[in-house]
Structure 1
Amino acid sequence: MGKTQPASFRVAVQQERCRGCGICEEVCPQGAIRVREVAVIDQSRCVGCGICVEECPHGALYLKAYR
């Protein structure tokens, strides 16, 4: 079996843009997002797929390089 490579990107939240709508939490296939007042990313679960970034209607999420 091949080894899984860690993701090169992780999701970050621009808290001032987040409205707490919960769409990102609903679409995350890894269950890496919880919304309280704003979205909170569990970086240990995030695989950097970017689905939440694409679906966020407020532009509050973005991918940043991860090392």
Structure 2
Amino acid sequence: MKLHFLRLSLPLSLPVSAARLEGSLTEQVAQELGQPAQLLRWSLTAVEGDRAWVEVVATTDDGHSD
């Protein structure tokens, strides 16, 4: 298992919900890392206009069992 820390910018669409934001984050983290990832924690750190800045802690499987 590998641990990743990312700071991402996402477009905001109204209405905003935590479930919708988490779904978008899961997709964007997988794209950034090039593989499926499990979100451990995320935090909305700023909103600038129609963009949200989010810090994410996620894990990916490195092919080894723990």
- Report the TM-score, using the length of structure 2 for normalisation: 0.29
Structure with higher helix content: 2
TM-score by length of 1: 0.29
Of structures 1 and 2, the one scoring higher in RCO (CA 8 A, sep 6+) is: 2
Which has a greater percent of strand? 2
In terms of Rg, which structure is larger?
A: 2
